[in-house]
Each structure stands twice: as structure tokens, then as C-alpha cells.
Amino acid sequence: MKHELVEFIKGYKRRSIELQQLEGICPGGTDYAEFAEAVKELVVAGILSEYESNVPSVRDNSLSLKYKVKQYKLRENAICAVQEFALKNKIYKEINLSLYMTEHATAWEGDKQYIKMLSDYLYKYGLPGEEVTDQERSYDITGNEKWILEGGKKVLERVGMQEKLKISYLPEPLMIAVNPQNFNRDNHTHLIVENKATYYRLLEALPQTTCTSLVFGSGWKIVANITALEKQVGLPNSRHQLYYFGDLDHEGISIWNALHDKRKIQLAKDFYLALLAKKPSEGKTNQQENSVAMGKFFSCFSANEGKRMQSLLQQGEYYPQESLSQDELQCIWRTSTWASI
């Protein structure tokens, strides 16, 4: 109850308020004794104060019918809360929390968990030197590639980090190789791979498949620029089916999930299943786990296959695309049901 009263008072513009107004804020069914106790606590905190000639409430003589509102006391509390949080968590020096002590105090409770994540990220990696997409920066900081677009941008602006984090909102052109002999088809299939080495290992096999293009995703960049595919291959009015093959790790799964949300891109499962026959590598300790993305990813495979993948990731292991040789990659692509001639 006290929290509801404080939130109302934060946006209250007048210097006095009647007890009846405060009571009207209470949710239905609130016990009056609980309400009265909350008002008394605000008086003790100095946020509310009684008038000298105030008339006592009929229902509770310890309450007055009218109070003075002292907004500056709320700011004092906000300042203390922010300062204590910054000291306790050793917030990174470049993060500016001053706005939470003034007009953005109401956003503090919702923002502080992300501020801590941002601080931890900066202590680990420092300020970035190169621009990356908002999805990649979101994932690196919070493990949720949509965080910046879903409200995180405002948090970064409030703490003065929007420009310093070098976030690009303009997608780069796709890096793509085309197979002109398949341009006369009505339906077009495209393979997207996460890493440059895999792209080059597959490139010479492109004419031996039914795919119209091979795309180098370049990590998170593909999420932003995938919308350019149809225009770049010059087939804006045709039907297109996209397949994705990335590292079998937390980040690779999150990249596919972000793509899937945008374009319903399927997994090139043949490649992933081939990885399972190899010895896994030691895991990447700096990656964030996205449980939603993992659930969607594993559901594309059989129950046993999904469990194997989940188990190895939980054990701190992963499969880079480079686990497959050039011959293996090309053979898998040429013989896959969705790309074989």
C-alpha cells in the first residue's frame, strides 16, 4: 500500500492533499488499518506532514483530513537509493545515474537490473571500439537480443551510454553469392551461414545445389539486413525459403531465433546433426543463455537429439561450424533433401 501511495505522490502537482484522495488510490478491498499505517509511515518519512490546525479523521484520530506534500523528500529517498545501489554494485564509471535522482526516479526500479548487467558487461569488455547491430549488443549485455528495441534504448539514453556503445540501427548490405542458373525457378531456396570460413568452404558447391544463393550472415548482422535478400538477388516477387546454419552454441541459437521471429527461417538440420557426430569443443563462458530461443531450437529436432544438444550446452560445451571439413560441408549440402539436384 505504501508503494502505491508513493507512486501517486511522485506525479502529484499540488502542495496539499486530502486524506480522501489518498484513500481513493487504494485498490478495492484494501484494509483501512493497512492504509492508515501506510499514511503514518509517509508522515514519519517526511513525505507528508500535518497542518497545525488540522482536523482529525473520524475513522482514525491519528490521521488528519489534510496533509502537506513534500516532494523534495521523495527526491532525497531516490538519491539515497541510487547512491547505495551504485556503491554496493560498483557501477561502471561511464554510467551516469543522475537522471534517476530527478525526473526519471519512477523508472529506477525497472531499470536497475539492466544497469547492473550493463556495468558487468563494461567491466568485462570495456567500451566497444566497433559498431554492431542493436540485436548483438542487446544479446551481449542481457542475453535477450530484443532488449534494446523493447525498451532498452531508453535505459541506455537515460544513463548516457547510447552513443558510447556504438550501436548501428542501419543494416549493411547482404554479403551474398548467387547461382544464376536457378533464377528461372518459381521457388527459391537460400542457405545462410553464420561464419566466414564456412561460407568460403561451401561457396564452390553452390552451383551443384538447387539454391539460388549462399549468404554470409556475419553473426548478428544478418538479423538486420535479411530484409534486403529479395531485392539484392533481383527477385522481389518470387517465393523464397531460407535455411540457416550457425554455431551450435548459445549465441548461434539466439541468432537463429531472432531470424526465425522475423522470417520463419528453417534450420539446415543436416549440418547440425553432422556436428553431433564430432567431438564438442569447450564452451564459451562469455555467452548468455536464452531459454526461449533454446526451446524453439531443440523442438526442431527429435526428442533425443534435442536432449543431447541441451546436455552438452549445459556442460559448457559447444560445436563451432568449423568442426565440419570442407568436403563434409559440401557433401551435406549437395545431398540435403532441400538443396539436392
The answer to whether 95 and 159 have CB atoms below 8 angstroms apart is yes
pLDDT for 147 = 95
- Return the percentage of the chain with pLDDT > 90, whole number: 63
Dihedrals phi, psi of 238, to nearest 5 degrees: -95, 170
Q: Residue 125 and residue 288: Cα distance in Å, rounded? A: 14
Architecture of domain 175-335: 3-Layer(aba) Sandwich (3.40)
pLDDT at 11: 75
- Which letter, b or e, does each residue of 284-303 get, where b requires 16 or more Cβ atoms within 10 Å of its Cβ? eeebbebeebbebbbeebee
β-strand partners of 176:
215
Kindly report each contact of residues 57-65 with a partner whose C-beta sits within 8 Å and lies 24 or more positions away, as own/partner: 57/19, 59/32, 60/32, 60/36, 62/36, 63/19, 63/36, 63/39, 64/19, 65/18, 65/19, 65/20
On whether the CB atoms of residues 276 and 305 are closer than 8 A, the answer is: yes
pLDDT in tens, 142-172: 999 999 999 999 999 999 999 999 998 878 8
User: Does pLDDT of 192 surpass 80?
Assistant: yes
Closest C-alpha among 121, 116, 161, 127 to residue 286: 121
Q: With 90 as the cut, is the pLDDT of residue 318 above it? A: yes
Sign of CA dihedral 300, 302, 307, 308: negative
Between 43 and 28, the higher pLDDT residue? 43
Domain ranges of the chain: 2-69, 77-168, 175-335
Find the angle CA(236)-CA(148)-CA(139) to the nearest 5 degrees: 90
Proportion of the chain above pLDDT 70, given as a percent? 98
- pLDDT tens readout for residues 214-270: 999 999 999 999 989 999 999 999 999 999 999 999 999 999 999 999 898 999 999
Q: Which three cell numbers stand for residue 88?
A: 554496493
Nearby residues of 227 by Cβ (< 8 Å), 6 or more positions away: 171, 262
**Residue 103 banded pLDDT, cuts 50, 70, 90:** low
Report pLDDT for 20: 86
Mean pLDDT, range 86-106, rounded to an integer? 88
Collapsing DSSP to helix, strand or coil, 182 comes out as helix
